């Protein structure tokens, strides 16, 4: 009944007619899902009681404007080739002919869905040759007035798929990078014939961008190969992106392809490959292509991050954000701010990460308007820091808002991060089942397994959560499936997995193997001044020393780690280790009281 009411928009006569149609139907749910104005009772009623009673002028107007999902006077004039449409629309509304106003000033209307179904069916029956020209007129008017979605839909309906393809290319940058509306781009592309998409390098690049956002590295690489093969001919076709050449990635195909390859290399954890592809892109970028130049800085920052060179990464990412803010897309700058916040947290600078997230919220804020979806990534970043500081109510508030907003766009890593943070909040508050639900959803929306752990920490977080809940076997199996070993040399892109492995070894009473691994991880992090890693590895190293019976060394290691962690408010990195850490903290407090601790912890 709810579905039927929605389909008939609560129209009493429509509900009654639908009920008549339902008689004798064996599959009622299927019937309701397919219920349209073409069903016999609705068709007969509307045709006989409404449509046939109109004057020839009104009837022709209704049929010809039925191709539109929304109507205005100027648009109807353009579609029908007549004048006076505004007056006709007002006349149709006064006559109660199923016209629904969409604003308060009677500027836009739409037909009741069932009435529109009837009109379109009748137009197709009576004047099939008129349908395509009407859509063509609607596409032209919509393009002229900057209504890209309407223009593309009408161009496809008119059979003008090449025109639609060009429109998608022109508006891709503004929609995908400017507003983060990947789902709309996907819908546009799916409306085109596959062979047309495969023939146009810019559309292949758009598909590659969608695949990369979903973490589908191999599919994105295949699409880039195809784009590169087809790019020579595309240079002859004029291209003027709606966002402007300075804010476009598609404006320069060779540079764009090289940058996409840099991104894919980064997702795989290949810092050298990332830097090499960025260098190739820089040789192709022309004067005034500001967006492309900003992205080269982004990916150089990514390469530095993968190498563990965090100050260099922060510098490149900050420069990229500054460039993007100068007339560039706010969504992309906010998305990049989340990455910058991750780098700052890796440095142990939680205050800086908070400032970055707050700054990103300022970028997206529009006075008097609701919070835009792009702000979701910033709220997730704030939640991550608040959780680490054990400010659980604040963390939950930010995570809830971030998740809500992040669900509204196709780029999923911030959503996955928000759900993972929610899982740990629930775990910390005693909701083990809710924690598993949240981390399970995080894993479903996170990038694919080809993405390195540093850029996709959710699988490691899930294994760590399972271990915290006592499922040692599941966590151990995950480390084995990832090919992680206690004798591995430190590899920063795989560090999240190695830290999980250290916890597994501790749970298996293999403190000696855990300690040797943690010694190497701790030394590598300290050598690069990656304080976030130094704190986490240091906390685990203290536990490993305690488990090995080296009591004094364990207390000293914990004191040293707390000295680093306390100024920035770290709490959960210790608290989440549970009873073993609580016991060791107790011994540290006792040692301090008796003057035996080597360092005083604030």
pLDDT digits (tens, 9 = 90+) for 547-579: 999 999 999 999 999 999 999 999 999 999 999
Question: In the listed set 328, 349, 380, which residue is the last one of a domain according to the structure?
Answer: 328
What is the mean predicted confidence (pLDDT) over 124-150? 95
Residue 578 CB neighbour total at 10 angstroms? 12
Geometric angle at alpha carbon 589, from 583 and 590, rounded to 5°: 90
- pLDDT at residue 381 is higher than 90: yes
Q: Is residue 461 part of a domain?
A: no
pTM (2 decimals)? 0.84
Let me know whether 440 and 509 are in one domain: no
Question: In the listed set 126, 161, 188, which residue is the last one of a domain according to the structure?
Answer: 126
Q: Is residue 389 part of a domain?
A: yes
**Residue 589: how many CA atoms within 13 Å on its side-chain side?**
6
- pLDDT at residue 16 is higher than 80: no
Task: List, for residues 204-251, the tens digit of each pLDDT value.
Answer: 999 999 999 888 899 999 999 999 988 776 656 788 998 888 889 999
Let me know whether 476 and 437 are in one domain: no
B/e letters for 482-513, b = 16+ CB within 10 Å, e = fewer, are bebebeeebbbbbbbbbbbbbbbbbbeebbeb
Let me know whether 568 and 487 are in one domain: yes
Task: List, for residues 406-446, the tens digit of each pLDDT value.
Answer: 998 878 899 999 999 999 999 999 999 999 999 999 999 99
Q: What is the pLDDT of residue 293?
A: 93
Let me know whether 359 and 429 are in one domain: yes
Q: Which of 124-133, 177-186, 332-341 has the lowest mean pLDDT?
A: 177-186
Q: Is residue 587 part of a domain?
A: yes
- pLDDT at residue 280 is higher than 90: yes
| Mean pLDDT computed over every residue of the chain | 90
Q: What is the pLDDT of residue 367?
A: 79
Could you tell me the pLDDT band of residue 329, with boundaries at 50, 70 and 90?
Answer: low
DSSP-based three-state secondary structure for 109: strand
Let me know whether 7 and 121 are in one domain: yes
Let me know whether 440 and 342 are in one domain: yes
Q: Which domain holds residue 53?
A: 2-126
Let me know whether 310 and 340 are in one domain: no
Let me know whether 338 and 323 are in one domain: no
CATH code, 407: 1.25.40.10
Q: Is residue 149 part of a domain?
A: no
Q: Is residue 364 part of a domain?
A: yes
Q: Is residue 205 part of a domain?
A: no
Contact 230, 199 (CB under 8 A): yes
3-state secondary structure 128-166: HHHHHHHHHHHHHHHHHCCCHHHHHHHHHHCCCHHHHHH
Q: Is residue 166 part of a domain?
A: no
Q: What are phi and psi of 245, to 5 degrees?
A: -65, -30
Closest CA to 498 of 482, 512, 474: 482
Q: Which two tokens stand for residue 421?
A: 């943070």
Q: Is residue 119 part of a domain?
A: yes
Total domains in the fold of the chain: 4
Let me know whether 324 and 339 are in one domain: no
Contact 380, 346 (CB under 8 A): no
Let me know whether 41 and 116 are in one domain: yes
Let me know whether 397 and 478 are in one domain: no
Give the gyration radius of the chain's Cα atoms: 30
Question: In the listed set 77, 101, 126, which residue is the last one of a domain according to the structure?
Answer: 126
- pLDDT at residue 345 is higher than 70: yes
Let me know whether 585 and 517 are in one domain: yes
């Amino acid at each position: 009944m709810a579905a039927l009411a929605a389909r008939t928009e609560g129209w009493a006569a429509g509900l009654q007619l639908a009920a008549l149609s339902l008689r004798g139907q064996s599959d009622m749910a299927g019937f309701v899902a397919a219920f349209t104005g073409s069903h016999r009772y609705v068709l007969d009623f509307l045709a006989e009681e409404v449509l046939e009673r109109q004057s020839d002028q009104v009837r022709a107007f209704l049929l010809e404007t039925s191709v539109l999902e929304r109507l205005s006077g100027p648009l109807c004039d353009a579609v029908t080739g007549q004048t006076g449409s505004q007056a006709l629309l007002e006349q149709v509304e006064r006559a109660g002919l199923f016209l629904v106003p969409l604003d308060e000033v009677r500027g836009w209307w739409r037909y009741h869905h069932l009435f529109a179904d009837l009109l379109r069916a009748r137009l197709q029956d009576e004047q099939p040759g008129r349908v395509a020209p009407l859509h063509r007129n609607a596409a032209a008017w919509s393009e002229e007035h900057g209504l890209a979605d309407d223009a593309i839909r009408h161009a496809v309906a008119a059979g003008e798929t090449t025109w639609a393809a060009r429109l998608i290319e022109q508006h891709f940058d503004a929609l995908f990078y400017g507003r983060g509306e990947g789902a709309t781009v996907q819908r546009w592309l799916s409306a085109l014939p596959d062979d047309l998409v495969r023939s146009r390098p810019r559309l292949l690049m758009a598909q590659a961008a969608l695949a990369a956002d979903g973490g589908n590295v191999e599919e994105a690489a295949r699409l880039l190969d195809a784009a590169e093969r087809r790019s020579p001919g595309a240079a002859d076709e004029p291209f003027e992106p709606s966002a402007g050449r300075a804010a476009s990635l598609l404006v320069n195909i060779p540079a764009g392809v090289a940058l996409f390859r840099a991104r894919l290399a980064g997702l795989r954890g290949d810092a050298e490959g990332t830097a090499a592809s960025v260098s190739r892109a820089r040789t192709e970028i022309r004067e005034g292509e500001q967006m492309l130049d900003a992205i080269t800085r982004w990916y150089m920052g990514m390469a530095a991050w993968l190498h563990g060179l965090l100050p260099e990464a922060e510098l490149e990412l900050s420069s990229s954000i500054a460039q993007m803010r100068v007339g560039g897309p706010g969504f992309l700058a906010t998305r990049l701010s989340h990455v910058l916040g991750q780098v700052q947290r890796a440095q142990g600078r939680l205050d800086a990460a908070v400032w970055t997230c707050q700054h990103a919220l300022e970028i997206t804020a529009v006075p008097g308007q609701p919070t835009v979806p792009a702000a979701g990534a910033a709220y997730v970043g704030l939640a991550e820091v608040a959780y680490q500081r054990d400010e659980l109510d604040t963390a939950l508030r930010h995570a809830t808002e971030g998740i809500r907003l992040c669900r509204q766009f196709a780029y999923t890593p911030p959503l996955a991060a928000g759900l993972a943070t929610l899982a740990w909040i629930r775990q910390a508050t005693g909701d083990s089942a809710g924690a598993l639900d949240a981390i399970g959803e995080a894993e479903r929306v996170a990038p694919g397994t080809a993405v390195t752990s540093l850029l996709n920490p959710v699988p490691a977080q899930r294994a760590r959560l399972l271990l915290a809940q006592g499922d040692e076997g599941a966590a151990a199996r995950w480390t084995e499936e990832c090919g992680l070993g206690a004798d591995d040399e430190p590899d920063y892109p795989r560090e999240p997995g190695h830290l999980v492995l250290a916890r597994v070894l501790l749970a298996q009473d293999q403190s000696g193997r855990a300690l040797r691994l943690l010694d190497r991880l701790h030394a590598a992090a300290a050598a690069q001044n990656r304080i976030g890693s130094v704190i986490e590895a240091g906390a685990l190293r203290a536990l490993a020393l305690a488990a090995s019976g080296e009591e004094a060394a364990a207390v000293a290691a914990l004191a040293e780690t707390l000295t680093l962690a306390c100024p920035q408010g770290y709490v959960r990195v210790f608290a989440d280790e549970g009873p073993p850490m609580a016991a060791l903290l107790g011994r540290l407090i006792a040692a301090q009281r008796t003057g035996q601790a080597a360092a005083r912890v604030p």
